[in-house]
Amino acid sequence: MLDSLTPDQQALDEAIGRICTNFGDQYWLERDTDGNYPEDFVDAIASGGWLGIAMPKAHGGAGLGITEAAFMMRRIAQSGGGFAAASSIHINIFGPHPIVKYGTPEQQERMLPPLIDGRDRTCFGVTEPNAGLDTGGIETRAEWDGRNYVVYGQKLWTSTAQRANKIMLLARTRAKDTVAKSTDGLSLFYTNLDREHVEIHEIAKMGRKAVDSNALFIDGLKIPPEDLIGKEGKGFRYLLDGLNPERVLIGAEAVGLGRAALAKAVDYAREREVFNRPIGQNQAIQHPLAEAWAELEAANLMVVKGARLYDAGEACGAEANAGKYLAAEAAHKACERAVLTLGGMGYAREYHVERYLRESYIARIAPVSREMILNFIAERVLELPRSY
Ligand SMILES: Cc1cc2nc3c(=O)[nH]c(=O)nc-3n(C[C@H](O)[C@H](O)[C@H](O)COP(=O)(O)OP(=O)(O)OC[C@H]3O[C@@H](n4cnc5c(N)ncnc54)[C@H](O)[C@@H]3O)c2cc1C
């Protein structure tokens, strides 16, 4: 069975579930209200050693696959933590991937253990105001001054930068008009987020208030050459390598969120009586929930297929993208149906489903939008002409 868990995976799922029971819906509602970072949740996950779930054993990780990481993230989101919980640790799970794959042994030894045990917190600076999804259009530049790279530019939406002491940063090291392709000449750095040279402004946003997203203004950030990951100018290629696992994880998180919403809706539909009958006895309530279940579980299978292919070292672009797309849409629909099932109470914060609905948009937009996923499938899977 595609989604059957091995005994070890089952044990992992249960262990994560046990941690999450200490951080129930009420905890996440409070964080969504006060905007405080879920520090104690992150500490609990870190102290269990789970941040390194997919990191090599040689550096203190568990050496497991993206499949196990996806099961973990699904369980975390499904616990009611949704994207607030998942995003508070998401970057630690997949972000160090370029270091694992392209870092020198010295970099791996220096960079990975503190990320795995939670001493270092990183953020991920790719998106820019003038580039959007067209990563080749980024303008942040890293200039070599003979001793260091010196960075100037802006990043947008950089999540967790308020807390991070490190940043994985994509910057241009060769001007766009001097390279063959716009995505050439970009370099990837993992370095200190030096607040002397980086102004960080939090963006007020629709949901997931506990996990900040930010605008970064970088002015003269010095990066020593030993913090360059891999070869200069190849940063975009390195990032591409991490895209599929990230899509798998976001897909798994979306499935978890959708399942949480569906569970709330079903409980309410069973208990709430109107016209002397449970509202769940009405097909107009039942069918959308049944549809949500079917779509979530189908999406889950595609997410897991993407994860398994990735772990087997096989091509997984189509499945990772399709899984992320399907899961995001299914989660959004499940959350919307949950709000409507609860009627007026669906709109009340204390019933949680409106929080889930707000968070469900994240998976539809980031890290890649639904439109760009459909572009990818049309072009790469269906071999239709590129549309942009
Ligand atoms: C909560 C949140 C957290 C985030 N965290 C991070 C982070 O930590 N680090 C980071 O680097 N980024 C982060 N992002 C940014 C995110 O990855 C981007 O928002 C996303 O990639 C979309 O880019 P954009 O917002 O610039 O949209 P744009 O590129 O401006 O696109 C806007 C719309 O136009 C559509 N569009 C554009 N071109 C095409 C086309 N050719 N065909 C069809 N449709 C098209 C898009 O699909 C989209 O609907 C985060 C975003 C959010 C909302």
pLDDT tens digit string along 41-99?
A: 999 999 999 999 999 999 999 999 999 999 999 999 999 999 999 999 999 888 899 99
- Residue 115's alpha-carbon distances to 167, 339, 375, in angstroms, are 11, 38, 34
Q: Give pLDDT tens digits for 312-338.
A: 999 999 999 999 999 999 999 999 999
pLDDT (0 to 100) of residue 361: 98
Q: Whose CA is nearest to atom 35 of ligand 1?
A: 371
- According to DSSP, residue 234 is labeled B
pLDDT (0 to 100) of residue 2: 63
Nearest CA among 222, 220, 226, 211 for reference residue 108: 226
Q: Give pLDDT tens digits for 215-239.
A: 999 999 999 999 999 999 999 999 9
R_g over Cα of the chain = 21
Q: What is the mean pLDDT of residues 238-265?
A: 96
Check pocket membership of 140 for ligand 1, CB cut-off 6 A. Answer: no
Q: Whose CA is nearest to atom 20 of ligand 1?
A: 366
Check pocket membership of 360 for ligand 1, CB cut-off 6 A. Answer: no
What pTM was estimated for this model as a whole?
0.97
Q: Give pLDDT tens digits for 118-158.
A: 899 999 999 999 999 999 999 999 999 999 999 999 999 99
Q: Give pLDDT tens digits for 172-185.
A: 999 999 999 999 99
Check pocket membership of 243 for ligand 1, CB cut-off 6 A. Answer: no
Check pocket membership of 157 for ligand 1, CB cut-off 6 A. Answer: yes
Q: Ligand 1 mean position to 128 CA, how many Å?
A: 9
pLDDT (0 to 100) of residue 241: 86
Q: What is the mean pLDDT of residues 349-369?
A: 98
Residue matched to tokens 């998180």: 253
Of all residues in the chain, the percent with pLDDT exceeding 70 is: 99
